[in-house]
Amino acid sequence: MKRSTFIASMGGLPVIIAACNGNSRQKSAVKLSREEIKTRSFPELFTAIETKEMQEDVFTLLTKEDLPTLTSGNSLHYNSMIAGWGGMGILFNKPVVFHMLRSNRYTLELMRKENRYTMTFFDAEFKADYLQFGMSSGRDSADKMKNTQLTALQTPTGNMTYKEAKLLLECKLIQVTTVSPDDFLVEENKKFVVDAYTETNDYHKMVYGEVTNGWISN
């Protein structure tokens, strides 16, 4: 049976529209409390979507209004970080996301080790929770991932994310390149990467991930 899903809006709430064999039905999202979310399993919380079905504005998703969280590792050891610089598009004829990250990010180290990661977005009510991931380094603080009210869980493919997510992208790491100051044509941008070099003794990395799975909250 062929089934397609896309996101619409009704009364300010997201609505999942599912079509099966030409017949459509609507399922309104029921808002769960934080306590209820913590008790739900992955299939109860998320529905798979194709990247072309995403309705969110990328310029909103990737700004201070709605910063994404990058997470990599496994259930025994994982780390998350906030990533405000990047985008989404097509590379090698596949949907990809890209990020400009400092070379010393611990999450980046895990991404390169695992060759996979998640890009997770949350509703505004969870902003104070996910911003905690930008307060310290997981390399220096063993308690970093415990200092959040968000609830970690594994996707069906073993990636790490959070039950409170509204949008989740699973990514396969496909490319990591190092920026060069000579490639920057705007002087203030060039100065930024040169100044950042003094902190890490290395330039920023451009990180590309192929989107392998997409999920939205039910």
Q: Give the domain CATH number at 85.
A: 2.30.110.10
The overall longest dimension of the chain from CA atoms, in Å, is: 60
Q: Is residue 2 part of a domain?
A: no
What does the pLDDT read at residue 146?
A: 72
Q: Is the pLDDT of residue 27 over 70?
A: no
Confidence of residue 139 (pLDDT cuts 50, 70, 90): low
pLDDT in tens, 164-209: 999 999 999 999 999 999 999 999 999 999 999 998 999 999 999 9
Q: Is residue 205 part of a domain?
A: yes
What does the pLDDT read at residue 61?
A: 83
- Percent of the chain residues past pLDDT 70, beyond the cut: 81
- Two tokens, residue 165: 């997510």
What does the pLDDT read at residue 28?
A: 44
Q: Is residue 164 part of a domain?
A: yes
Distance CA 110, CA 36 (A): 31
What does the pLDDT read at residue 133?
A: 83
Mean pLDDT of 146-155: 88
What rounded mean pLDDT belongs to the chain? 83
Task: Tell me the pTM.
Answer: 0.82
Domain count, the chain: 1
What does the pLDDT read at residue 132?
A: 83
Residues 118 and 160: beta-carbon distance below 8 Å: yes
Q: Is residue 47 part of a domain?
A: no
Mean pLDDT of 86-115: 95
**CB-count burial class (<10 Å; 0-12, 13-18, 19+) for 97:** buried
Among the residue ranges 1-10, 23-32, 180-189, the one predicted with the least confidence is: 1-10
What does the pLDDT read at residue 137?
A: 61
Confidence of residue 55 (pLDDT cuts 50, 70, 90): confident
What does each C-alpha distance from 16 to 9, 12, 56, 145, 183 come to in angstroms? Answer: 9, 13, 14, 32, 43
What does the pLDDT read at residue 135?
A: 65
Q: Is residue 148 part of a domain?
A: yes
What does the pLDDT read at residue 31?
A: 84
Q: Is residue 19 part of a domain?
A: no
pLDDT in tens, 125-135: 998 888 888 66
Q: Is residue 26 part of a domain?
A: no
Confidence of residue 58 (pLDDT cuts 50, 70, 90): confident
Distance CA 22, CA 165 (A): 30
Full domain range(s) for residue 100 = 53-217
Please give the DSSP secondary-structure letter assigned to residue 56.
Answer: S
Measured between its terminal Cα atoms, the distance across the chain in Å is 21
Q: Is residue 111 part of a domain?
A: yes
What does the pLDDT read at residue 21?
A: 36
Pairing of strands 46-49, 23-28: unpaired
What does the pLDDT read at residue 199?
A: 87
Distance CA 29, CA 183 (A): 46
- Two tokens, residue 94: 């596949």
